[in-house]
């Protein structure tokens, strides 16, 4: 494939149509089986399902070692609480089953698989029967994408001398060995050719009933299907339009857009956010009415102040008018009645005794009830606390 820069396009009759297509550069990529095996192994792990032993499963009786003539006979074994036994719940469902693979490595693996599919030696070493196939990579016209009947697909494969690979698949159908027969995967067979197309106009319905055939879209290539088993070199049949370069996808790629985009020279400065409650200019942007609100407050305060001053000036005139009226006492200011119980007792003169009964005097001032007795109680409490602290200090430092 590397020696032929042009690829012949074959018609539905199995003959060369006279068209030639330039060999894409991906078929000239270096083949790295080590990278492909690594990517293939890790991607296959993403199909695993978590499993674990039951945490409720247990035995009511511990098994014993069956032997004689030794101390080991009769001892407990196999249980999680026994010496030499298994551990409890060895497998967990939260075990890390899946693997993340680098995107660059996956792309490199796809390129290696495609490059290997163009080498007849590697394709034949994988077991594909391509002895009579005219050329690799095998490219057919776009009419094949419009096939909708299986008999049309079978006829095309026979014309292209690729039906021998399908016969190999028929001959390899057999029963699976082991307990897999219980799991709905009883029969196994080998892999046949891989059909890679650009647009599905019925090609899937035409080829899907043939055993061993895999169909892939050129924009959605799968590593696990390009080289099943981790071995590169699968027999691929391509349609003509899938070799066309997708310019729109290339131009919209971030690598191209990053290079074509004009550099952004505009400098974005961070603007400090100001509090509108403290900054009048910011408040006016948010609420233009805030400009008149303080002025209205000033006018209202001035009006209230004027009213108070007028009332204060009119108060002496009202007092002078009330003095001349008979039967009324002049009111000096607004005197409010004091609440009951707020009367203060007059302090007695030194040497005089309080007037009134003793019970009334004690109720009026309960703090003066036997003050020496209160002092004695307080001193007694202080001595007791001091003695405890001194004792603890003495035992902590000198004993």
The mean pLDDT of the chain is: 82
Q: Do residues 27 and 4 touch, judged by C-beta distance below 8 A?
A: no
**Average pLDDT score over residue span 65-73:** 85
> Could you tell me how many helices (H) and strands (E) the chain has, helices first?
13, 8
CA angle 314, 315, 316 (to 5 degrees): 100
pLDDT score recorded for residue 255? 83
pLDDT level of residue 399 (50, 70, 90 thresholds) = very low
What average pLDDT does range 194-220 have in this prediction?
93
Share of the chain above pLDDT 90, in %: 45
pLDDT tens by residue, 306-337:
999 998 988 887 777 666 555 555 555 555 55
**The predicted structure's pLDDT at residue 395:** 47
pLDDT at 152 over 70: yes
For residue 250, give the DSSP letter: H
Tell me if 204 sits within 8 A of 153, measured CB to CB.
Answer: no
Which residue(s) pair with 138 in the sheet?
Answer: 237
Q: How far apart are CA 135 and CA 237, in angstroms?
A: 10
Higher pLDDT, 255 or 114: 114
pLDDT at 341 exceeding the cut of 80: no
Least confident of 20-24, 112-116, 312-316, 390-394: 390-394
Among 187, 190, 189, 173, residue whose Cα is nearest residue 128: 190
Pairing mode, strands 187-188 and 174-175:
antiparallel
Class of domain 6-49+94-244 as given by CATH: alpha beta
Name which of 15-29, 68-82, 88-102, 195-209 the model is least confident about: 68-82
- Lowest model confidence (mean pLDDT) among 113-122, 153-162, 216-225, 337-346: 337-346
Residues 6+ apart with CB under 8 A from 77: 62, 63, 64, 65, 84, 85
Strand order from edge to edge, sheet including 214-217: 16-22, 6-10, 138-140, 236-239, 194-197, 214-217
Q: What's the rounded Cα separation, in Å, for the pair 126 and 106?
A: 22
Residues 6+ apart with CB under 8 A from 202: 145, 146, 147, 148
Q: Domain boundaries in the chain?
A: 6-49+94-244, 275-309
Give the Cα separation of 255 and 107 in Å (integer): 15
Average pLDDT over residues 270-298: 87
The confidence band for 119, taking pLDDT boundaries of 50, 70 and 90, is very high
């Amino acid at each position: 494939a590397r020696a032929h820069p042009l690829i012949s396009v074959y018609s539905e009759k199995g003959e060369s149509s006279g068209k030639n297509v330039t060999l894409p550069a991906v078929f000239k990529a270096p083949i790295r089986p080590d990278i492909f095996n690594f990517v293939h192994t890790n991607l296959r792990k993403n199909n695993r399902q978590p499993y674990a032993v039951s945490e409720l499963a247990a035995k009511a009786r511990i098994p014993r070692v069956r032997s004689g003539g030794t101390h080991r006979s009769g001892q407990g074994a196999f249980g999680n609480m026994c010496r030499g036994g298994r551990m409890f719940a060895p497998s967990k469902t939260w075990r890390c089953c899946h693997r993340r693979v680098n995107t660059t490595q996956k792309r490199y693996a796809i390129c290696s698989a495609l490059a290997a599919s163009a080498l007849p030696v590697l394709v034949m070493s994988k077991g594909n029967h391509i002895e009579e196939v005219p050329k690799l990579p095998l490219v057919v016209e776009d009419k094949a994408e419009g096939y909708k009947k299986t008999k049309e697909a079978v006829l095309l494969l026979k014309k292209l001398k690729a039906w021998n690979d399908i016969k190999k698949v028929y001959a390899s159908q057999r029963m699976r060995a082991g307990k897999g027969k219980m799991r709905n995967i009883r029969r196994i067979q080998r892999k046949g050719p891989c059909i890679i197309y650009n647009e599905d106009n019925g090609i899937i319905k035409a080829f899907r009933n043939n055993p061993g055939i895999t169909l892939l879209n050129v924009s959605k290539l799968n590593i696990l299907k390009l080289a099943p088993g981790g071995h590169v070199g699968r027999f691929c049949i391509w349609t003509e339009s899938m070799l066309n370069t997708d310019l729109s996808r290339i131009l919209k790629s971030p690598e191209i857009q990053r290079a074509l985009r004009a550099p952004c020279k505009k400098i974005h400065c961070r603007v400090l956010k100001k509090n509108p409650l403290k900054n009048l200019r910011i408040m006016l942007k948010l609420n233009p009415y805030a400009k008149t609100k303080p002025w209205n407050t000033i006018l209202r305060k001035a009006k209230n102040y004027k009213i108070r001053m007028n009332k204060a000036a009119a108060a002496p005139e009202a007092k002078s008018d009330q003095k001349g009226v008979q039967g009324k006492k002049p009111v000096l200011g607004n005197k409010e009645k004091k609440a009951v119980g707020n009367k203060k007792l007059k302090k007695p003169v030194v040497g005089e005794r309080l007037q009134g009964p003793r019970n009334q005097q004690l109720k009026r001032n309960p703090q003066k009830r036997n003050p020496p007795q209160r002092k004695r109680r307080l001193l007694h409490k202080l001595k007791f606390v001091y003695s405890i602290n001194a004792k603890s200090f003495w035992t902590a430092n000198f004993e």
